Each structure stands twice: as C-alpha cells, then as structure tokens.
Amino acid sequence: MTAETQASTVADPTAAQPAAAKITVATVWLDGCSGCHMSFLDMDERLVDLAQKIDVVYSPFVDNKTLPEQVDVGIIEGSVSNEEDEHKARLFRKHCRLLVSIGDCAVNGNVPAMRNPFNLESVYERAYLENVNVNQQIPTQGVPALLKTVRPVHGVVDVDVFIPGCPPHADTIHSILTDLIEGRTPEPIKITRFGA
C-alpha cells in the first residue's frame, strides 16, 4: 500500500460523524387525565436534548395519528376502561418492541378503577342521569362502550416497564427514558412509587 492510498484510508478526526440512530417513541393516553403526558412535557429544556435522541412518531404531542408498523418504545398512560382503550392497548403491544405503563392509572387502575365495585348499569345512571340536569340520556352512539371492569394495561397485554406515580415526576420520566436510550434496564421502583 502506498503512502498515498494509506492516507486515504485513515479516518479524518475532523470529519462529521454519522448521527446516532434515534429511537422511535409512541405515546397514547387511555382512561387518564393527561397528567402523565403533562409530566412528560415538564421535562422542559431537557426535551430539546431528548429531541436529538428520540423521534416521537405517534402521540397527542405530534400531528401523526397513524401508529407506524414498528416502534421502539410505546408509552401508555391511563387504564383500560372501554373498548377503544382495549383496542389501543393491543395495537401498542403489537407494534411496540418495548411497552411502558406510565402512571398509576396504567399501572394499577387508580382513579378510573374506583367504579369497579359498582355494576355498569349504575355507573351509567350515575354519570348520565343522576348527575345531569339537561338532556338526560345514556349515549349509545359516538362514545366507546365501557368495559364491565376497569383494568390496568397489564390486565390486557404484557407490559415491560412500569412507572408508578400520579403522575410520575418529570425527573423520573427523564431518568427512565435516558436508561432506555442508553441501553440500560431501568429500575423505576428505585426512584418512584405509587402515589408519588
């Protein structure tokens, strides 16, 4: 090999390095208050740095409303309370390599599951008849049918990572996302708890 050809094979340390591949992230909220998504946004300026490392491909945060075929990390807020929730949970499980339950509603049912001791008929009556002064009626169209009982996400599909908290703190979400981005197994239970 001549000196000339040898030189051409030595990496130029000043050359631009190819950008590291971003991980794709999808988020959805089922029966939740959106507080866990708000806590995600509470990462504030750290979102700018995260945007270099993750690509949010489906979420209430972004315009794209079609879940891609393959997503690295799916994050679910909220419990599974109606038929649409169940459909979305199954869709996320099918298309997301790793599934995360974020917040107590997703992890254990939390507030939405407070209706579980009551039968469905009395829940509908309470919501649409007893507590309503105008146009009392139980809707039969345009809203997804309630399931008999509220379930946490892992009551419907397998979940890989559980992040308790109501909502989990932005620092907790940042720490766990950083672990996932850097290929570590997160240990949420060391940094958050139910009701945190």
Residues that bind ligand SF4 (CB under 6 A): 32-33, 35-36, 77-78, 103-105, 110-111, 166-167
Question: Phi and psi dihedrals of 187, rounded to 5?
Answer: -125, 75
Least distance to ligand SF4, CB of residue 6, Å: 60
Can you count the helices (H) and strands (E) in the chain? 7, 7
Q: CB-wise, 35 or 186, nearer to ligand SF4? A: 35
Least distance to ligand SF4, CB of residue 192, Å: 11
Q: Which residue is nearest to ligand SF4 (CB)?
A: 35
DSSP H helical ranges for the chain: 3-9, 35-41, 46-50, 83-95, 104-108, 120-125, 170-181
> In 51-92, at which residue ranges do the beta strands (DSSP E only) sit?
54-58, 71-77, 80-82
Euclidean distance between CA atoms 185 and 152, whole angstroms: 22
Q: CB-wise, 103 or 186, nearer to ligand SF4? A: 103
Euclidean distance between CA atoms 80 and 92, whole angstroms: 13
Q: CB-wise, 68 or 153, nearer to ligand SF4? A: 153
Q: Which residue has the tokens 């945190």?
A: 196
* SS3 of residue 21 by DSSP: coil
Least distance to ligand SF4, CB of residue 33, Å: 3
Euclidean distance between CA atoms 34 and 15, whole angstroms: 44
Least distance to ligand SF4, CB of residue 146, Å: 17
Q: CB-wise, 39 or 175, nearer to ligand SF4? A: 39
Least distance to ligand SF4, CB of residue 158, Å: 20
Q: Are 164 and 173 in contact (CB under 8 A)?
A: no
Q: CB-wise, 165 or 186, nearer to ligand SF4? A: 165
Least distance to ligand SF4, CB of residue 182, Å: 25
Q: CB-wise, 47 or 111, nearer to ligand SF4? A: 111
